[in-house]
A and B are shown apart, each in its own frame.
Chain A
Amino acid sequence: MSPMEIAARHFDGKIATPRLVRLRRAPDGIEILPAAPDDPAPPRVWPFAEARIDRTAPDVQLHRVEAGEDHGERLVVPAAAFRALFGTDMTRFGRGRAGEISLRRLALWSGAAIASFLFLFFVGLPVFARHAAPLVPWRWEAAIGLQVERQVLDFFTDGKAPRLCGRPGGPGRAALERMAGRLMAGAELPGPLHVAVLDTAMTNAFALPGGRIFLFRPIIEKAGHPDEVAGVLAHEIGHVIHRDAMRGLISDATLSVLVGLVIGDITGGSTLAILSKALAGSAYSRENESEADRVSIALMRAAGADPRAINRFFRRIAPLDGDGRSLLDAFRSHPVTGERISAVEALAGAVPAATRPILDAADWAALKAICAEDRGGSG
């Protein structure tokens, strides 16, 4: 007997029966001898590089990788004996599994997957949303709009209870309705509109799903002419006509499914997807904006008002800088660029000889005072 021998079980990968063997430490590997000293079978050597350790407890199992192939050869060795014999060689054993996928192939498919995802994000998703949105029944969209309204208004009023300007049936709201009515006369709307003025200090306007349009108080306050307010309103009506809010919802939902797919379930994919969407911002695309601008121009023209008034309003609230590419902070969800303004100028063309203000002087005064109505102050 040699103290340098240990007993082990050997599987040759050909039969499901273990063979009892003795192991010896060869200079560059594990020498395997038959269990019976008088067995004439010749000893074999597993080079360390071909021997891979699968586990070290409760016993040690090794598998052999020959020329990149695992033919099922295994050794099972008591842990203590294995350590005693090969403890100093642990770093010499090979690593990895047979037939492991190469990093090159991995990189190739990673690239393909990323390209595919980017294509979906920038091309597929908008196209999908554009064509899917009109298929959603208006009643569903209206229900969704009602649901999100409270949260959105809360967000814009900084936690304070949101307040809508004007009394029901009051002169301010009546003037607003007349303005909306004149604009809508030339429009094909998917459903009824609800227009309101939100009492908040931000300069903004948006259309929620279901035709719920909100103008913020400063829009009314800063406008020098009723057509300027009407231009903004007509732009929002444009979003309603194109169902941009619904498009946004659809692409958000699809995106969260996609991101959830990448991230997997265990991380609470939808949460992260929503977070990432919030980070990306929910701005309308540039294309959506110019579409809404076109509608704005058409509606204003049909109503006999000045289609270029909206540009005067933009210049009034934030003069463009030298480059003409100023991005209005207040209109983060409707970025106003010089490009957009000149596009409106070009589209609007010549101003009709006799434009008629969209509201008469009395109505304009009532609208201007809409947020002061129930405060009892002056306009």
Chain B
Amino acid sequence: MLCGGAWLFLTMLVRLPVFLGALFLGRRACDKRAGVGETRATGTGLGGAMVHVPTITRAWAVAPVPSAPASSGEPAGRRLEPVDAPLAGLVLRGLVLTFATLGLYRFWYRTALRRYYWGQTRLLGDAFEYTGTGRELFIGFLIALAIIVPINLAVTLLGLFGGALFGPFLSSFVALVLVPALVQIALYRARRYRLSRTRFRGIRFRQGGTGTAYLARTVKWLLIAGATFGILLPYLRAAQERYKIDNTWFGSAQGAFEARIRPLMGPWIACWLTALCTLAGFAAAILMLLGGNVALAAGAALFGGLALITLPFLWMNYRVREFRAFTGGTRLGPLAFRADLALWPVIGIFLRYALALGLVVLAAAAALLAGGGADAGVEGAAEALARSGPGGWIVLAGGALAALLAAAFLGEFLLRRPLWRRMAASVTVLNAAALDAIVQTAQQDSRGIGEAFDTGFDLPV
């Protein structure tokens, strides 16, 4: 039902959740004093904002004071600014070290990427800050490995031992109920970890609430959405988002979620109906083929195929509208937000990424065919290479490694970064002057074991 082809979009958006949390954040304090926004625009002659604050004498202000780039128009709101900075070195180093350490470096790599994305997202010239460390992610992973994996095996074994009736029941309970439930809790806790490691202007974010309450809401809406065959899915997603936002804090400012969901129903139902058409088309094609009517079967298959191709675009359309609606419905204390993310640039990003990925796959296949003889086929060539001795193995493994590296590179440069840029630039913080009213509240530092359950397991959700 999730318009499967666009899973990439889904994972992309899910992977930047705090960054999104950060988007729902506030901005703009200093322009209230002395109208920095306006004066700065005139003071760029010395490459800096020496006019930043009139009380500073010109003489000692020769050194440029860091300040926000001039924002055009929108006196009441301030846009988030994605700042481009070199990323290739970070990605290359991260990927190479991740390979070299059999994957263990990935926690530090992920941390570096978060520092990058957080740090390059600016509001009124100030960057968001990610204060988490690779070590924290790593220890969360170790804990998961030490505790969760054996428990999982024990429960599975219990299912096997449990007898003919009880056993299958228990193991399907584990697979279909317990594990997805734990995943929901883990996702919520991971968001809490990331938020607690996010700061803006020195003020911390945090997330209250509990994973179980989040799970309870999810289950409730899952039942409702399931009972309506998925038609009410936007309400499920909104319920999840509401719980997250309502429990999000930036210093003393608490989040509130007031998005209207009904306007999303149109785009979602288009998606839903198209998914239905895909299923119906292919089912009809199979039935007609069994009935011997090849022409009709081809027609039905064509219909199903067309619906399938449309599906990712409709899903992107839904997600873009959802992003706008959810962002626009978010409050953070006195701050409000608006997003004007456009659909076509997002589609363009995905098409470019898919095209580039396709080219990489093609290039790999072509290289194999050139090496192993065209008539053997890709698989045959790979087999021949593997069998030709250690040299062939090395070539094959090196080629696979290169292809994986290329795909990871493309994912970062053609998917994640462009999407981040688009999404960040689309967000405007309204009433940003109210940022001045936000103070850090007393709160315990969340540094417990459980907080580190953002394990880097890459849950496919």
Contact = CB atoms under 8 A, between A and B. Distances in A.
Contacts of B400: 268, 271
B103 A262 contact: yes
Interface string B120-135: 0000001101010101
A35 B146 CA distance: 53
A5 B65 CA distance: 12
A272 interface: yes
Contact of A17 (B30, B66, B147): B30
Given A7-B61, A7-B63, A17 B435 contact: yes
A317 interface: no
Given A9-B66, A267-B102, A106 B146 contact: no
B145 A54 contact: no
Contact of B404 (A76, A264, A268): A268
Interface residues of A, number: 72
A99 B448 CA distance: 11
A15 B26 CA distance: 13
A206 to B, nearest CB: 20
Given A15-B439, A106-B138, A119-B150, A78 B64 contact: yes
Contacts of B456: 264
A8 to B, nearest CB: 7
Interface in B18-62: 26, 29-30, 48, 52-53, 55-57, 59-61
B440 interface: yes
Nearest to A105: B139
B436 A1 contact: no
Contacts of B438: 15-16
29 contacts: A1-B60, A7-B63, A16-B26, A17-B435, A17-B436, A63-B131, A72-B203, A74-B201, A81-B64, A101-B133, A101-B135, A101-B452, A106-B135, A109-B142, A109-B143, A112-B142, A117-B145, A120-B149, A124-B150, A124-B153, A131-B157, A131-B160, A131-B161, A261-B149, A265-B458, A266-B95, A267-B98, A269-B103, A271-B400
Given A69-B445, A113-B146, A265-B458, A100 B135 contact: yes
User: Most chain-A CB neighbours within 10 Å: which of B61, B135, B145?
Assistant: B145
Interface in A103-142: 105-106, 109-110, 112-113, 115-117, 119-120, 124, 127-128, 131-132, 135
Interface residues of B, number: 70
Interface of B: 26, 29-30, 48, 52-53, 55-57, 59-61, 63-66, 83, 85, 95, 98-99, 102-103, 106, 119, 126-127, 129, 131, 133, 135-136, 138-139, 141-143, 145-147, 149-150, 153, 156-157, 160-161, 199-204, 250-251, 387, 400, 404, 408, 435-436, 438-440, 445, 447, 452, 456-458
Contacts of B126: 18, 76
Nearest to A70: B131
Contact of B153 (A100, A110, A128): A128
A67 interface: no
Given A119-B150, A267-B103, A12 B64 contact: no
Interface in A39-71: 54-55, 57-59, 61, 63, 69-70
A105 B103 CA distance: 21
Contacts of B457: 261
A101 B135 CA distance: 7
A169 interface: no
Nearest to A254: B153
Interface string A213-240: 0000000000000000000000000000
A266 B103 contact: yes
A57 B85 contact: yes
A106 B404 CA distance: 30
B217 to A, nearest CB: 29
Contacts of B127: 55, 61
A7 B65 contact: yes
Contact of A20 (B29, B53, B119, B161): B53
A58 B98 contact: no
A58 B103 contact: no
A272 B102 contact: yes
A72 B48 CA distance: 26
Contacts of B204: 72
Contact of B55 (A36, A100, A105): A36
Given A61-B127, A74-B202, A124-B150, 14 more contacts: A8-B65, A15-B439, A20-B52, A63-B129, A63-B131, A76-B126, A77-B66, A80-B64, A106-B135, A109-B142, A127-B157, A128-B156, A267-B98, A268-B400
A55 B445 CA distance: 23
B119 A55 contact: yes
